[in-house]
Amino acid sequence: MEISGPWRRAASGAGLLAADGSIAATIFAEMSALAIKTGAINLGQGFPDEDGPAEVLEAAAEAIRAGINQYPPGTGIPQLRNAVAEHQRRFYGLDYNPDREVLITAGATEALAATVLALVEPGDEVVTFEPFYDEYGALIGLAGGRHVPVTLQAPDFAPDLDQLSRAVTDKTKIIIVNNPHNPTGATFDDETLRTIVELANRHDAYIVTDEVYEHLRFETPHTPIASFDGASDRTISISSGGKTFSTTGWKIGWITARPALITAILAVKQFLTYVNGAPFQPAMAVGLALPDSFFTGIAETLKAKRDLLSAGLRSAGFEVFPSRGSYFLVADVSPLGFPDAVEFCRQLPDRAGVVAIPLSAFYTEANRGQARSLVRFAFCKREEVLERAAEQLARLSAR
């Protein structure tokens, strides 16, 4: 049966609509199924295999026992809104009113959805960097917007600022900036961020940030784009606690923006989930108030994991590109004699007992060729798991 409706635009925007009109399974689903079937080490999906800070977990358990189990307020509990505002002040010197300029959401995922659906009219253009987190493409499609990708090139995956300047026009409604960047591990330098702010001002566009990896940077501290001159009034900053606190299943995210933007986004958000995660909200507030040593500690720990996997991949014969943040790194499989990363990833569980994701999954159809031999690996796993993966990957060069 033909089911008509906007869902097709969501699937198409995420690159999942096949030529015959059917919906392709995502490569993530295919690779996760392969991992289960073969017992391979899953370096495909980005979730940690260890628990986050005990005091945060305990705070959630305590909240459930204390009866915090009914609908929280629509904008989030005051304690968490205060904690988000305080976090923005403490780390970045940004000033947000916790009652009018902070909105708690069902993860960064819902924050992005509510924002795009609230602001994008059919025909509006949305600029993203490419490769991009697949949700962006789906949301732009659902809203009836036009996706204008600016492609990032190895080895640094830094945007070409001329290409970026050409991509942003008076038709641009939003520029989405994911920094640190999934899937490449790139972090954008100040010149790039300043250029984005200038372009947004010149063409009267909003800047929507996705900063879920803000505390997982390995080389330089994070500077939110909202802190640049001319950015704060037109920037919707989005983050969440899933990656920072190793609680990806909790789905507590937040938006900071000026009151009129929060009001517009809340008008949509309240009919998506209304509210979520009552007992997790106070726990996130505990997490955001942890001492600086926690935040520097998670970045140090993850950096060591990045180094471990990078070294393993290099000695197995991969070309490894620098990852400066996030859970991920990109490697080129062509030095191993594989021209095609999709085929490589399909064979990898059998050949080396490891699962990874071809980078082409994060591109628009037209630009997939640019990622032909590139693969994304997640390194947010225990060291012994990464060591075992490295040993097994060494088999590839021994063939």
State the residues that interact with ligand PLP by CB under 6 A: 107-109, 133, 178, 182, 210, 212, 240, 242, 248, 251, 253
Instruction: Tell me how far, at minimum, the Cβ of 47 lies from ligand PLP, in Å.
Output: 9
Q: Which residue lies nearer to ligand PLP by CB, 182 or 364?
A: 182
Q: Which residue lies nearer to ligand PLP by CB, 109 or 392?
A: 109
Q: Which residue lies nearer to ligand PLP by CB, 254 or 338?
A: 254
Integer Cα distance of 347 and 239 in angstroms: 35
Instruction: Tell me how far, at minimum, the Cβ of 43 lies from ligand PLP, in Å.
Output: 15
Q: Is the bond preceding residue 221 a cis peptide, omega within 30 degrees?
A: no
Instruction: Tell me how far, at minimum, the Cβ of 237 lies from ligand PLP, in Å.
Output: 13
User: In the 3-class helix/strand/coil scheme, how is the chain assigned residue by residue?
Assistant: CCCCCCHHHHHHHCCCECCCCCECCCHHHHHHHHHHHHCCEECCCCCCCCCCCHHHHHHHHHHHHCCCCCCCCCCCCHHHHHHHHHHHHHHHCCCCCCCCCEEEECHHHHHHHHHHHHHCCCCCEEEEEECCCHHHHHHHHHHCCEEEEEECECCCCECCHHHHHHHCCCCEEEEEEECCCCCCCCCCCHHHHHHHHHHHHHCCCEEEEECCCCCCECCCCCCCHHHCCCCHHHEEEEEECCCCCCCCCCCCEEEECCHHHHHHHHHHHHHHCCCCCCCHHHHHHHHHCCCHHHHHHHHHHHHHHHHHHHHHHHHCCCEECCCCECCEEEEECHHHCCCCHHHHHHHHHHHHCEECEEHHHHCCHHHHHHHCCEEEEECCCCHHHHHHHHHHHHHHHCC
Q: Which residue lies nearer to ligand PLP by CB, 338 or 362?
A: 362
Instruction: Tell me how far, at minimum, the Cβ of 395 lies from ligand PLP, in Å.
Output: 30
Instruction: Tell me how far, at minimum, the Cβ of 107 lies from ligand PLP, in Å.
Output: 2
Instruction: Tell me how far, at minimum, the Cβ of 216 lies from ligand PLP, in Å.
Output: 10
Q: Which residue lies nearer to ligand PLP by CB, 107 or 282?
A: 107
Q: Which residue lies nearer to ligand PLP by CB, 101 or 210?
A: 210
Strand-pair partners of 151? 130
Instruction: Tell me how far, at minimum, the Cβ of 133 lies from ligand PLP, in Å.
Output: 4
Q: Can you state the angle between helices 292-315 and 383-397, rounded to 10 degrees? A: 20
Q: Which residue lies nearer to ligand PLP by CB, 360 or 392?
A: 360
First to last CA, the chain: 48
Q: Which residue lies nearer to ligand PLP by CB, 180 or 353?
A: 180
Instruction: Tell me how far, at minimum, the Cβ of 210 lies from ligand PLP, in Å.
Output: 5
Closest-CA residue to 355 (of 324, 392, 325, 318): 392
- 324 φ, ψ to 5°? -105, 0
Q: Which residue lies nearer to ligand PLP by CB, 83 or 390?
A: 83
Integer Cα distance of 374 and 267 in angstroms: 40
Instruction: Tell me how far, at minimum, the Cβ of 252 lies from ligand PLP, in Å.
Output: 7
Q: Which residue lies nearer to ligand PLP by CB, 12 or 244?
A: 244
Instruction: Tell me how far, at minimum, the Cβ of 84 lies from ligand PLP, in Å.
Output: 13
Q: Which residue lies nearer to ligand PLP by CB, 182 or 195?
A: 182
Q: Which residue is nearest to ligand PLP (CB)?
A: 107
Instruction: Tell me how far, at minimum, the Cβ of 69 lies from ligand PLP, in Å.
Output: 21
How many CB atoms lie under 10 A from the CB of residue 265? 24
